[in-house]
């Protein structure tokens, strides 16, 4: 597996060197375990927006997305109306795709339902953390049995733009999977963070 050697002389996952804004995201966010419901909802929403696009496009617009969707407070977004959708379709700072915008509003409502039923998004999502013996070598697959199962259950609950590939990218980013390559200097840091993290139950 090829790596990227950063300015500090340390190896990183190769994709971290493919755009200037990727390195900080790779080093400080990607793969670290997350239990905050708002961050989890933000990430699964942004992964939906990424569908068919590059993560660089979405990352560059992330602050605009946060402003447009009330900081991804899904209780607020769940109250968005058709007028809000039309307003967002005129917002040049985000990806103006009606289906994806409507999916975030729909998913916010489904998230409220899920929290009512499960206690938190975190407790629900972390039930799908794969066991170590279920993991493929880092960055060799774009879906997994766990992402397929989570995608299927979310769709059954009425969520949209949550296919297995989108869900797997979400799991990689939110730490349900440590997909940093073996020689990446960040991989052991993520492992340490995970060792002190208690999955919400």
- Phi, psi at residue 12, to the nearest 5°? -130, 165
CB atoms inside a 10 Å sphere around CB 178? 22
Question: Has 124 been annotated as catalytic?
Answer: no
DSSP class of 51? T
Out of 30, 32, 55, 159, which one is annotated catalytic?
Answer: 55
CB 178 within 8 A of CB 194: yes
Sign of the dihedral defined by the CA atoms of residues 160, 166, 168, 174, in that order: negative
Q: How far apart are CA 75 and CA 189, in angstroms?
A: 33
Catalytic residue, chosen from 32, 42, 47, 124, is: 47
128 catalytic per annotation: no
60-64 contacts: CB < 8 A, separation 24 or more? Answer: 60/21, 61/93, 61/94, 61/95, 64/91, 64/93, 64/94
144 SS3 class: coil
DSSP state of 33: -
Which entry of 25, 29, 102, 129 is annotated as an active-site residue?
25
Active site residue 32: no
DSSP letter assigned to residue 197? -
Active site residues: 25, 47, 55
């Amino acid at each position: 597996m090829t790596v990227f050697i950063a300015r500090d002389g340390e190896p990183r996952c190769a994709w971290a060197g493919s755009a200037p804004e990727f390195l900080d995201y790779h080093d400080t966010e990607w793969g670290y375990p997350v239990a905050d419901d708002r961050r989890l909802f933000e990430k699964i929403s942004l992964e939906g927006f990424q569908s068919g696009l590059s993560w660089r496009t979405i990352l560059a617009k992330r602050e605009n997305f946060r402003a447009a969707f009330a900081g991804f407070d899904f209780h607020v977004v769940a109250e968005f109306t058709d007028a809000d959708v039309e307003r967002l379709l005129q917002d040049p700072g985000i990806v103006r795709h009606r289906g994806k915008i409507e999916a975030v509003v729909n998913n916010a409502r489904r998230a409220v339902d899920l929290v009512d039923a499960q206690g938190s998004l975190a407790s629900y999502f972390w039930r799908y953390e794969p066991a170590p013996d279920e993991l493929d070598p880092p960055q060799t697959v774009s879906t997994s049995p766990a992402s397929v199962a989570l995608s299927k259950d979310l769709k059954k609950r009425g969520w949209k733009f949550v296919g297995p590939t989108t869900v797997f990218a979400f799991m990689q980013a939110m730490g349900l999977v440590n997909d940093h390559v073996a020689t990446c200097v960040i991989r052991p840091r993520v492992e340490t963070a995970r060792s002190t993290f208690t999955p919400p139950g």
